[in-house]
Every structure is written in structure tokens, then in C-alpha cells.
């Protein structure tokens, strides 16, 4: 009863503070919010954000300074800026970027008390979806996670139109393993000797086969192991099979011999019909592509469907508010408005109606005449993923109607698709930074060789040598990570 009363009082206080905040929004001091996004800046970005500032001046009373950092430099630049004490307000982040390292540096603001007050609608959505646990570190909410539901179980994808044209009959029900994929590669190679067949082995598929989840720094845990034992990934059967299959693909000529020297963009190769198979996910098997060939399409199958596969973490794409921000409340107000306002959502994601996008008779977003993915002045900007709201997303040429509804349905459709119990675990690597740096360097020296099967010797011997090269650092890193995970799990 006391807990219920406390919750009610907290809610009333939050509502009271929100009423004051909204009532006095026009009296807020004018500020400039500095946002940092992933990848490249589009031509009309500043124009669109100026329009957003004008549209919502009576609510937010702010301007926007929107910067982009190219993808290859994004993680390191953010880490550098945080280490140097640079000031900014909000940035795109994710567990696949520098999130865990930034958290270890205390680079992101504590939102625990401010979130329910200045972003009550967003806070409510988080409570309903149960994602705040993943966004909490040392008892503090340190980011704004996404609420998309999806699972990244690996698929094998091939050009279904080309297979049909060549008379290749594929029994999809019988294809669940690497071995099952091999005959399709053989038939496609025979039918299309002038095209590239595949670019790599698939570590992600091997993770599915062995029910592994990665926790960063080349460390994995078997989801079927209740003890939560951490392993260096090279010390798993999954890694051995991944390397062995890469060599098998290379020896068969499915992966081209000069791949390490070929700098051609792989997405361009796919779009132009040069590369005709790939490893992927349910999302990318179904999403639209700017195909050059008319009628081009993917067919796909799920690999290892009975291996445990973690649903995509809420930390996959997040919005983070810098600990150096002087405008945390205003950023949260913006994020709350984005949660409830379709027009703001449209402007942030698509731009200015009639200029950077149009809406057709079916309610889908389309490019204005003369514009496309290649020359869009705003639409399709990368780094927008953390700000997706499925109920506001309009169909477009990449994601058709009900795309994300079906994505969520798939994630919930199998007992082998599960939430990871380790989403909220943050490995503080401060005490093993030297070992991690050395380990990462060895991995980078070998990564492309393993993926492409260009190795000198038999796979088992090559993996044994690699394990030996990593052994000392791996042992130290695993021991420290295990100590922290055991504490996290309350052991």
C-alpha cells in the first residue's frame, strides 16, 4: 500500500511540474541544442532543422545546431570529444558503437529524475515496453533506448528472380544450415559465372547455431547455459566452424580471390546485380533496395531456427544526452514531443513536405520528382534509427506498410527468439584496456582473412595459432568480465 501511495504521489508531482513547464514554455530562455548524428549530412539538413525550430518556437524556444560525423569515424570521434570535455546536448549511439565505453567514462547524463518529469509520455512508453532496465547503469537511467521489437536471426538471401530464370528449384523448408546453403551456391555459380556469388562466411549464423550472444570485446555467452559463463569467441566451436566454412567457400571459388584488394562498395555490387547472395536478417531480406535490374528480388531462409537467438537489444540504437549538456530538460522536452507529435516526427525524418518529400495517394512517403535515394536532399539520413516510432512511420520504398508490425510479430513468433538476460550488463573495461587494445589489434589483423577464407593452412591449425596469440590477453579479459557479470547477476 505504501508503495502504491508513493507511486501516486510521484505521478502527481510529475504532472504538476509538467503543467508548470508547459505553461511557461514560451518564457524559457532561448538556447541552441547541439545534436550529433551518425554518417553524412544531407544538403537540406540545416534548412529542415531551422523549420523545426520555427514551427515549435512557442513550445521549445530553441534553435538546432545539427552535426554529423562520418560512420567510420563516429565512435572514435565521440570518445575523443567526451574525453576532451566537449559540450553538446544529444547524440545518436548504440551498443555496436561506443555506448559501453562512453558509459564507463560517465559521458552521458543521469536521466533518472528528469525523464518522468520532462518526457512523461516517453517515460510511460518505456515503462510499458520494459526497456528501461537495459538503459540503466549503476542505478541510473543513462540513455533513451528504442522500443522497436525485432530479432536478428540470420538469413541466407539469394536473388530469387535469377534463380527462377535459371530454373533453379529451391526447397526452402529443407534449408536450415550452412551445408544446406552450399548446393544453392553451386547452382548459382554454374548459372551465372560472370557474377560474384558471396563475400564471406557468417559468424552471426554460427552464433545462432550455438545459441551465443555477444557482450562486447569479442566475448560471448551461451544463452542455454544458466551459469552465464563467458568465453572468448575464438574458444568456441562456433568460431572454428565459421573459419572452416570461410575456407570452404574460398576453395570453391564462391568468394573471389582478390576480395581483400577489392574496395568496391558491397551494397552497390548488390544493387547493380554483381553480387547475388548475402547473409542477412529478416529486416534486410524484406526491405526495399534501389535495384538496377527490373524485377530483382531476394528470396531467403532462416538459418539454424532452433538455436536461441536474442531479440535485438533496446540498446541497439539509442539517443544519449551528454553529461556536458546544459539543456537536458529541453532535450527531454523535444524527445517527449517527438513521442506524441506526428508533424514533428515527419519533419525530423522526412523534412519539408513538397520540398524534400511528398506523400502519395496511398499515404506513402515518396521522393519529389528528380530526387531519389542517391541524391536525396534530406530523406533517408542515417542515424535516424534511434528516433523511429512505428506508429508514426509512413510506408516508403524501403519499408512498406505494416513492415515493422510484421517484424515484431516474427520476433515473438518462436520460442527460440528470446530477450537476452545480459542486455543491461555493461562491462567496465578500464582495468583491462591495454589487454583489450592488444586483443583488438590481433583480431583486426585476422578478421578479413577469416571471413573470406584466405588463410594459410588447415582451419583447425590456423584457429589454434590464433587462440595461442590471443591466450594471455583473453584470459585476463574474460576473468575480469566474469567477475563483473557475476556481481551483476548477484552471485
Q: Count CB atoms within 10 A of the CB of residue 298.
A: 22
User: Which of 126, 150, 146 shows the shortest CA–CA distance to 413?
Assistant: 150
Q: Give the C-alpha separation, 131 to 318, whole Å.
A: 11
pLDDT band of 426, cuts 50, 70, 90: confident
Place of cell 538503459: 135
HSE (CB half, 13 Å, CA atoms) of 244?
A: 13
Residue 1: the pLDDT is: 42
More confident residue, 404 or 72: 404
Q: In this model, does residue 177 exceed pLDDT 90?
A: yes
Q: What is the pTM of this model?
A: 0.84
The dihedral of CA 265, 383, 133, 409: what is its sign? negative
Helices 120-129 + 2-23 axis angle, to 10: 140
Bridge partners, 136 (sequence order): 141
**Residues listed for the chain:** 491
Q: Which pLDDT value is given to residue 431?
A: 93
21 pLDDT exceeds 70? no
CA–CA gap between residue 461 and residue 456 (Å, rounded): 9
Q: In the numeric block, which cell numbers belong to residue 432?
A: 583491462
In the prediction, which pLDDT does 344 show?
98
Q: Which tens digits make up the pLDDT trace of 463-489?
A: 999 999 999 999 999 999 999 999 999
Position 8 scores a pLDDT of: 41
Q: How many whole angstroms separate alpha carbon 68 and alpha carbon 468? A: 41
Tens digit of each residue's pLDDT (9 = 90 or more) over 338-364: 999 999 999 999 999 999 999 999 999
Grid cell 547493380 — which residue?
272
Torsion angle, CA of 315/316/317/320, rounded to 10 degrees? 30
What cell was used for 18?
Answer: 509538467
| Residue ranges with strand state E in 88-160 | 90-93, 136-137, 140-141, 144-145, 155-159
Cα–Cα distance for residue pair 52/95, rounded to 1 Å: 29
pLDDT digits (tens, 9 = 90+) for 23-58: 445 578 999 999 999 999 999 999 999 999 999 999
**pLDDT at site 26:** 59
**Within 10 Å of residue 483's Cβ, how many Cβ atoms?**
13
278 burial level (CB within 10 Å; 0-12, 13-18, 19+): buried
- Cα–Cα distance for residue pair 97/88, rounded to 1 Å: 18
Domains observed in the chain: 30-151+315-425 (3.40.190.10), 156-310 (3.40.190.10)
The mean pLDDT of 6-30, rounded to a whole number, is 52
Cell of 78: 565521440
The 3-state DSSP class for residue 291 equals coil
The predicted structure's pLDDT at residue 49: 98
Per the listing, cell 535515394 goes with 373
Question: Distance between CA atoms of 47 and 439, rounded to whole angstroms?
Answer: 45
The reported pLDDT for the residue numbered 118 is 97
Query: What pLDDT band is residue 238 in, cutting at 50, 70 and 90?
Result: very high
CB of 384 closer than 8 Å to CB of 351: no
- CB neighbours (10 Å) of residue 471? 13
Q: 3-state DSSP call for residue 272?
A: coil
Question: Locate cell 515473438: which residue?
Answer: 412
| Residue 7: per-residue pLDDT | 41
Q: Compute the mean pLDDT over every residue in the chain, rounded to the nearest whole number.
A: 93
In this model, does residue 434 exceed pLDDT 90? yes
Residues forming a β-bridge with 213: 221
Residue 467 CA to residue 475 CA, distance in Å, equals: 11
Which residues are CB-contacts of 333 (< 8 A; sequence separation ≥ 6)?
21, 25, 59, 60, 118, 119
Region 135-163 average pLDDT:
95
At residue 35, what are phi and psi to the nearest 5 degrees? Answer: -110, 145
Q: By the 8 A CB rule, do 315 and 386 touch?
A: no
pLDDT of residue 373: 85
**Strands 219-222 vs 212-216: parallel, antiparallel or unpaired:** antiparallel
Q: Residue 11: pLDDT above 80?
A: no
Average pLDDT over residues 159-183: 96
Average the pLDDT over 328-338 and give the result: 98
Amino acid at each position: 500500500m505504501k508503495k502504491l501511495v508513493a507511486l501516486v504521489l510521484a505521478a502527481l508531482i510529475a504532472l504538476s511540474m509538467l503543467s508548470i513547464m508547459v505553461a511557461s514554455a514560451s518564457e524559457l530562455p532561448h538556447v541552441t541544442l547541439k545534436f550529433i548524428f551518425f554518417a553524412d549530412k544531407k544538403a537540406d539538413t540545416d534548412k529542415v532543422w531551422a523549420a523545426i525550430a520555427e514551427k515549435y518556437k512557442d513550445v521549445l524556444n530553441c534553435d538546432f545546431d545539427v552535426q554529423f560525423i562520418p560512420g567510420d569515424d563516429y565512435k572514435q570521434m565521440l570518445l575523443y570529444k567526451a574525453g576532451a570535455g566537449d559540450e553538446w546536448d544529444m547524440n545518436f549511439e548504440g551498443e555496436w558503437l561506443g555506448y559501453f565505453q562512453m558509459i564507463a567514462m560517465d559521458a552521458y547524463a543521469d536521466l533518472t529524475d528528469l525523464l518522468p518529469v520532462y518526457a512523461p509520455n516517453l517515460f510511460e512508453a518505456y515503462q510499458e515496453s520494459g526497456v528501461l532496465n537495459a538503459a540503466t547503469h549503476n542505478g541510473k537511467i543513462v540513455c533513451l533506448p528504442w522500443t522497436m521489437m525485432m530479432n536478428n536471426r540470420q538469413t541466407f538471401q539469394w536473388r530469387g528472380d535469377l534463380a527462377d530464370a535459371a530454373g533453379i528449384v529451391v526447397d526452402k523448408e529443407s534449408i536450415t544450415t550452412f551445408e544446406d546453403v552450399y548446393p544453392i551456391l553451386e547452382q548459382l555459380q554454374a548459372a551465372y559465372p560472370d557474377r560474384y556469388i558471396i563475400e564471406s562466411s557468417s559468424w552471426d549464423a554460427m552464433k545462432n547455431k550455438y545459441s551465443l550472444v555477444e557482450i562486447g570485446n569479442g566475448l560471448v555467452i551461451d544463452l542455454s547455459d544458466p551459469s552465464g559463463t563467458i568465453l572468448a569467441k575464438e574458444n568456441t566451436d562456433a568460431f572454428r566452424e565459421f573459419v572452416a566454412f570461410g575456407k570452404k567457400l574460398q576453395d570453391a571459388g564462391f568468394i573471389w580471390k582478390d576480395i581483400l584488394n577489392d574496395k568496391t562498395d558491397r551494397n552497390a555490387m548488390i544493387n547493380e546485380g554483381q553480387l547475388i547472395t548475402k547473409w542477412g536478417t529478416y529486416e534486410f531480406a524484406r526491405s526495399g533496395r534501389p535495384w538496377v535490374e527490373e524485377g530483382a528480388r531476394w528470396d531467403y531462409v532462416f538459418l539454424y531456427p532452433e538455436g536461441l537467438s536474442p531479440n535485438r537489444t533496446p540498446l541497439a540504437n539509442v539517443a544519449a544526452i551528454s553529461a556536458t549538456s546544459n539543456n537536458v530538460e529541453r532535450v527531454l522536452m523535444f524527445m517527449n514531443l517527438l513521442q506524441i507529435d506526428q508533424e514533428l516526427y515527419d519533419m525530423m525524418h522526412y523534412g519539408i513536405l513538397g520540398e524534400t518529400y511528398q506523400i502519395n495517394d496511398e499515404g506513402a512517403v515518396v521522393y519529389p520528382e528528380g530526387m531519389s535515394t542517391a541524391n536525396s536532399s534530406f530523406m533517408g539520413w542515417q542515424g535516424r534509427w534511434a528516433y523511429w516510432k512505428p506508429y508514426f512511420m509512413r510506408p516508403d520504398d524501403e519499408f512498406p506498410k505494416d513492415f515493422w508490425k510484421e517484424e515484431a510479430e516474427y520476433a515473438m513468433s518462436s520460442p527460440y527468439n528470446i530477450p537476452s538476460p545480459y542486455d543491461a550488463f555493461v562491462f567496465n573495461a578500464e582495468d583491462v584496456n591495454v589487454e583489450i587494445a592488444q586483443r583488438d589489434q590481433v583480431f583486426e589483423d585476422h578478421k578479413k582473412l577469416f571471413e573470406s577464407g584466405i588463410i594459410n593452412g588447415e582451419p583447425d591449425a590456423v584457429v589454434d595459432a590464433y587462440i595461442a596469440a590471443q591466450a594471455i590477453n583473453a584470459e585476463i579479459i574474460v576473468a575480469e568480465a566474469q567477475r563483473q557479470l557475476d556481481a551483476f547477476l548477484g552471485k
